[in-house]
Chain A
Amino acid sequence: MADETSKHNSQKQAEGVGVGTHAHVHHEEHHHEVSFIRKYVFSTDHKVIGIQYGITSLLFLFFGFTLMMVMRWQLAYPGEPIPWIGLLLGADRAPDGIMLPEFYNQLGAMHGTIMVFLGVVPLAVGAFGNYVMPLQIGAIDMAFPKLNMMSYWVYFMGGVTMLVSFFLPGGAANSGWTSYAPLAVIATTGQTVWLIGMIFLITSSLLGSVNFIVTIIQLRTHGLTFMRLPFFVWAQFVTSFLLLLAFPPLEAAGILQLMDRVAGTSFFMPSGLVVSGIALPYTGGGSPLLWQHLFWFLAHPEVYVLILPAMGIVAEIIANNTRKPLWGYKSMVYAAIFLGFMSFVVWAHHMFMTGMGTTISAFFQTTTMIISIPSIIILTAFFLSLWGGSIRFTTPMLFALAFLPMFGIGGLTGLPLGLAPPDIHLHDTYYVIGHFHYVVAPGTLMALFAGIYYWYPKVTGRMMNDMLGKLHFWGSFIFLNGVFMPMFIQGLAGVSRRLYDGGEQYAHAQSVLQWNEVMSVSAWLLGLAQIPFIINFFLSAKNGKKVGDNPWDATTLDMAATTSPPLAHGNFERVPEVHRPPYEYSVPGAERDFIPQHERTA
């Protein structure tokens, strides 16, 4: 039955698209039933791949968060046995349930790696980008559906590689998600596996980003000019360029570190290195700073990879729920492009304390101050978009609204870190952790949750429960702040971020030690606050309120031009043509308060 429909659809499309599509259309693929495996496992449909990415990355997010919940026990109650799971961890990780420092380091390194590379980016780009972007530009699929499928499975293999590394002798990578040389070069086998896992993930993101850019440039439907693209598509477009151009230097760095570890080269090993009184068998002549440069050349643009798709989601939801066009759409687009360019020339502000020299520091703190401008333009445009709107406080809107101040705090606390003099005090303290977590956790994650609540009805055909959603929102909002706000207090007091006992033995930490318990309890309560979401996510697929084609009365093609879910492979019954800008809400004189992009007359 579904097959019949999709066959029907594609014929219509062939007529509908007209110009540019090829005349000889092969229909063999539709004549036989698509097997379960091809439909749900090795699918080339961007929507199925988007869902695969979404569920996998949500699982990884939860796993990465669990690692942190375990670490927070050690920070709040150092030296006490971990309840419940302590004895399950084994003697080489936590003898008698008490966490070893080595295991703490593994958890720290893998928390960062999993959250960034396996959780947030695959959810923001892989899931939302894959599912929503082709729908919003009126495309029947991505430009390269097979590459798209490959991108997911390579990501999956990267994830499995990372997970397996926990069971190696010596455990998983334990040199931080930044894997600084020379420590990472002499670390246990887990680091080698980490590097291999990263090469998988980099390959996956390369395939994905090429696909995204080609799709946006080539498969935009008729009339959808660049300045009519929804802001979400722009965000994905700029993000893809960052992934495309920033990841290869990390791949190069990963290959070099792998050579250092496996072939005994000295790319990152300085001369005369002695560890624990033993001279290391390296010829030397390498540069540990080189690793940091190559790493941050990726990892700074990566920050914007985390934040831009979140801004895209927030833009859609704010326009939809204020029922008015985004304020300053064009300046937002230009700001996003400028942000993309600038993100390539700020990386060394992570390295003020490395002794690379004041001249370089001066350059990078200038570019860092400049890059704050486009972020502020976008955030200001969001705030001004609220002005005079008749705001609908739906669950996605609550999350999107929370994004604004949370990202604001994250961004503004970054300014002192971007200037070399205050960074001397704040570097490597909990202040840094607080800063970037405010950007990514209460910031980006809030936006991603907003996106899940917003597009869920389009994916499943049913609304998520509002009461559970609000419970999830308030729990998350309060406890996220409970976790991260005290970090600023501890950081300003000078508490180092690398302490495995939470600062118990550290003179600077004594006056702020009591916050450790507050943060830990908040983290565990934050874990509890996700339960309504998990219940909601699964139960609503069966029991949620049924919705029609356009559950939020939206103007963009993903909501307005598609039929009611589930959508067939091919997306549209007839490929829409676009006649207007993306956010025509509350147009004076119009009969409804929204005019879809593909509607010809007002």
Chain B
Amino acid sequence: MNIPYTSTARPDTGLYNAKLGIWLFLASEVMLFGALFSTYILLRVNAVSWPHGYEILNVPLATLNTVVLISSSVTMVMAWASLMMKKFDKYKMYMGLTILLALVFLVVKYFEYSAKFEHHLYPSTNTFLAIYFTVTALHGLHIIGGVIVNAYLWGPGSKMWKTDPQRFTNRVEVAGLYWHFVDLVWIFLFPVLYLL
């Protein structure tokens, strides 16, 4: 039994199933992070005092992380484009780079967190740090999720390239859409938490 439109697009919608599915999933993610950003706004406008992010947080490290994450989005597109051009070796390289950059991001984040804990700054210290830790940790979980999926597509999952290349390319595209979204969330988080 084969479900239709797993690899090819349905003519009248122009989409294959997983692509529509990931867009819907991302819509729900927008609502999730939207609720958290709304929380940030509501808490901040009601607060008696609210610190500037740059007074507490490490802006240079976060800038570095922003560059790292944007680069990983570029390599992700390159990975997908390599598959479109049927260059599997290049795909392996770019996908590997994407995973590596994501890991760099996580390591930098780890140093940021532990520096805060060393200075006895915890989520319970104040509302600013509470929202900072909650939202960045949730974003970090999304990064970890992305790394797991990408690692699967780089390693054991890439066997599908031999049996069903179209479907495999689709999978990489879908993982890429998710990855760009996670990147985009950071693009919002960085100025809101660190700069404003």
Contact = CB atoms under 8 A, between A and B. Distances in A.
A285 B29 CA distance: 27
A539 interface: no
B134 A255 contact: yes
Interface stretch (A18-26, A87-95, A310-318, A373-381): A18-26
B127 interface: yes
A285 B48 contact: yes
Contact of A245 (B1, B11, B27, B48): B27
A407 to B, nearest CB: 28
Given A244-B24, A249-B34, A265 B4 contact: no
A411 interface: no
A265 B133 CA distance: 10
A366 interface: no
Nearest to B9: A20
B136 interface: no
A245 B31 contact: yes
A219 B17 CA distance: 9
Contacts of A140: 1, 3-4
B62 interface: no
Interface in A115-159: 140-145
Contacts of B16: 218
Contacts of A209: 24, 28
A287 interface: yes
B8 interface: yes
B4 A219 contact: yes
B39 interface: yes
A285 B1 contact: no
A569 to B, nearest CB: 6
B25 interface: yes
Contacts of A570: 1
Contacts of B4: 17, 20-21, 140, 218-219
Contacts of B34: 248-249
A144 B21 contact: yes
Contacts of B84: none
B8 to A, nearest CB: 6
A210 interface: yes
Interface in A24-39: 24-26, 29-30
B43 A290 contact: yes
B54 interface: no
Most chain A beta-carbon neighbours within 10 Å: one of B8, B42, B127, B131? B127
Nearest to A206: B28
Most chain A beta-carbon neighbours within 10 Å: one of B2, B10, B32, B42? B2
Interface in B141-186: 164
A203 to B, nearest CB: 11
Given A22-B7, A267-B127, A253 B43 contact: no
Contact of A14 (B2, B42, B126): B2
Contacts of B46: 285, 287
A14 B4 CA distance: 9
B123 A259 contact: yes
A27 to B, nearest CB: 9
A22 B39 contact: no
A10 B2 contact: yes
Contacts of B31: 245-246, 248-249
Contacts of A21: 2, 4
A260 to B, nearest CB: 9
B13 A265 contact: no
Contacts of A307: none
A569 B2 CA distance: 11
Interface in A258-285: 259, 263-267, 282-283, 285
24 contacts: A17-B4, A24-B164, A29-B1, A140-B3, A141-B1, A144-B18, A144-B21, A214-B17, A214-B21, A214-B24, A218-B5, A219-B3, A219-B5, A245-B31, A248-B31, A251-B32, A252-B33, A259-B130, A265-B123, A265-B134, A267-B127, A285-B126, A286-B43, A290-B42
Interface of A: 6, 9-10, 13-14, 17, 19-22, 24-26, 29-30, 140-145, 206, 209-211, 213-214, 217-219, 244-249, 251-253, 255-256, 259, 263-267, 282-283, 285-287, 290, 293-294, 297, 569-570
Interface of B: 1-8, 10-11, 13, 15-18, 20-21, 24-25, 27-29, 31-36, 39, 42-43, 46-48, 122-127, 130-131, 133-134, 138, 164
